[in-house]
Amino acid sequence: MMQDPVRTGIPGLDEVLLGGVQRNNNILVEGAPGAGKTTLGLAFIHAGAALYDEPGVIVSFELDPEKLLRDARGFSWDLQRLIDERKVRIIQTSPGVLLNEFRSSEGAFTAELAAIGARRLMIDGLTPLRLYAEVNDKPFREDVHLLIDGLARLGVTTLVTAERADTKGEPHAHERFIFDTIISLTRTEVRRRVHRTLSVVKSRGQDFISGSHAMRIESGGGLQVYRRAQSRPKIDEDQPTSSKRVSAGCAALDLIMDGGLYEGSITMVTGISGTGKTVLGVQFLTSAVLAGRRALLVTLDEHPRQLIRNAASLGFDLEGLMRQGTLFIHYESPLELELDVHFDRVAKLVEKEGIDCIVFDSVAVYEMANADQASDFLYALADFVKGRLATAFFNYESPELLGLSQISEELKGSHLVDNIILLSYVEISTRLRRAIAVPKVRGSKNIQTTREYVIAEGGISFLDESVVEGDDTTPVPQLPFSSYYGLLARSPSRKSPVIEDAVAHGKALPESPELPPETAP
C-alpha cells in the first residue's frame, strides 16, 4: 500500500491506480487530438483543490484561460470560484519563458506556486516545448531533463500532456523513459461510434491495473473511467456454492431439471426468435420475487415499457413488483453499448440492491457491441454472478438449435454455464409447435426428454401428453411428441416403434394432446 498517495479524484481512475499515484510523481498523459488529455488535466487540478485541499497551478501555452474556464463550466467544475479562493492559478506563458524559469530555483514561477501553497501542477502541453526546441535549434532532450529537474525542486505532483500519434511502429519518445507515470488515452470510432480508452503504461513505486479501460467524457459530469470488466477481482477466491434449489418458474421444468436450478448457477436459454426466452425469464424472476428474493432484468433487446406491456398480457405485473422494490429493470440501448461501462452499471446495481436473481436478455447483444471482447466479457460476467451466489439466466437468440459445442463463432459461452435450456419451433403438418429440451444440468440428473409447451396466461406451460382429444379438422393427425423421431433436428419423422406396431397389428394410434385453439391475429 502507498503511503499518502495523490488521489486524482477522477471517478474510476483511482480504482485503476489502486488508490492514486505516488506523491511528487511526474505524470505524462499522452494521446491523439480529442482523446481527452486537457480534460483529464483539468479534472486532476479541480479535484485536488475542491476535494483534497491541494491547491494547483495550470500552465497553458496555447489555450486562453477563458477557454479553460469555459470548458470547466461545461463539466460543472467551478474553477473561477477556486481561483477567487486562491486555490487554483492559471498561467499563460511561452515554452521559452517557462524553461528559463526552471533554470533558476528562485524565479517568478516558483514564487507563484509558493504563493498559493501549490501541491499539484498541470502543464498543457509537452508538444509546444518540442516545437520551441526545433525552431530554436536546441536539443529537446536537454529541455526535457531541465523540466524534470525543475519539477523535482518544486516538490509538487505534476501532470504534463503530450500529443502522440496513433501510429504503430512509432519509436518511443525520450520523455516516456524519464516520466514516473504514463497514462495513455485513445479515441477510436467503432461502427461510427466514438470509444475512448485509458491505460496506465507505467507508474513507478506502485502497482496498478493494467490493460485498456473504457473512458467517457460527458457534459455536466466530466470524465469517468470504467475499469475493464475482466479485471474485476473475485469476491471470494473460494467460490461460494450452494445445494439450495431455485425454481425456474415452471413446475414441469423444475421436474426435468431434477428439482430446479442450483442457487448460484447460470442457465443459458437459447432458441430462435419468438420461442419464449424472455417469457421464461420473466416467469423465473416473478417466481423468485414471490419466494422472497430480489430480482433484476437486464434488457438489451426490448424497451422496458414494451416489455412491461407484453408481460401484462400474460398476467405478469412487473410494474407492481417494481413499485414494491423487489424487481429492477435495467435497460441500455445496444446502439451505444460499451461493455466495461455496462458491466460497471450492472455490478453497482446488483451490489446496491442485493440482487439474488438476474436475467440478461439477450447476451447476443454483447457480441454485436464488441465481437472481439464478448467471450471474455461473458466470463467476467459469469464470475461476478457466481461470486455473489446469484442465480442467472443468459438468454441467447441463436438460429442453430443444436450448436451445443459453442453458441456462436465468437461468443463461446455454452461451456461456462451450468444449465442449457433449448427452445425451438417444430413444424408438423402445417402447424408450428414449440419444443423444449434440457441437455445440460450440472450436478443433477436431468430428464433427457423433448417436451411440447405453449405460451399462454401465466407464461410457459407443458402439454400433458397423457390427456388427449381427437382433432378431425387436421388432415394429418397431430400426434404427441413421443410418437416422433428427430424433433430437435426440425425434421420429425413419424416412423417410430409405437406407430409401426399400431399399423402392423391394427391398433389405434397414440392419441394427440389437446392443442390450444388458433386465434386470428
Going residue by residue through the chain (521 aa), what tens digit of pLDDT does each one get? 678 899 999 999 999 999 999 999 999 999 999 899 999 999 999 999 999 999 999 999 988 999 999 999 999 999 999 999 999 999 999 988 888 888 877 778 888 899 999 999 999 988 888 888 888 888 888 888 888 888 888 889 999 999 886 555 454 577 788 899 999 999 988 777 889 999 999 999 999 999 999 999 988 888 999 999 887 655 456 678 899 999 999 999 999 999 999 999 999 999 888 899 999 999 999 999 999 999 999 999 899 999 999 999 999 999 999 999 999 999 998 888 999 999 999 999 999 999 999 999 989 899 888 888 888 899 999 999 999 999 999 999 876 544 444 455 545 556 789 999 999 888 776 678 899 999 999 999 999 888 999 999 999 999 987 644 444 444 456 677 777 777 766 566 655 666 677 776 778 877 766 766 554 43
The C-alpha atoms of residue 170 and residue 487 are separated, in whole angstroms, by: 58
Question: Nearest-CA neighbor of 378 among 328, 339, 404, 344?
Answer: 339
Burial class (CB in 10 A: 0-12, 13-18, 19+), 494: middle
pLDDT, position 167: 53
Question: Nearest-CA neighbor of 377 among 387, 367, 386?
Answer: 367
Question: Which DSSP helix (H) or strand (E) runs through 441?
Answer: strand 431-441
pLDDT, position 127: 86
Q: Can you tell me whether residue 197 is helix, strand or coil? A: strand
Residue 380 phi, psi dihedral angles, 5° rounding: -60, -40
Q: Can you tell me whether residue 16 is helix, strand or coil? A: helix
Quick check: 228 and 16 in contact, CB under 8 A? Answer: no
pLDDT, position 275: 92
pLDDT, position 281: 97
pLDDT, position 404: 44
Question: Nearest-CA neighbor of 419 among 276, 266, 244?
Answer: 266
3-state secondary structure 35-76: CCHHHHHHHHHHHHHHHCCCCEEEEECCCCHHHHHHHHHHCC
Measured at the CA of 296, the angle between CA 293 and CA 300, to 5 degrees, comes to: 160
- Taking the complete model, does pTM exceed 0.75, yes or no? yes
162: left (phi over 0), alpha (psi -120 to 50) or beta: beta
Count how many Cα atoms sit within 13 Å of the Cα of residue 234 in the half-sphere of its side chain: 11
The C-alpha atoms of residue 56 and residue 46 are separated, in whole angstroms, by: 8
Alpha-carbon torsion, ordered 400, 405, 409, 410, to 10 deg:
120
| CA-based torsion, 226, 228, 230, 236: positive or negative | negative
Q: Which residues pair with 189 in a beta bridge?
A: 194
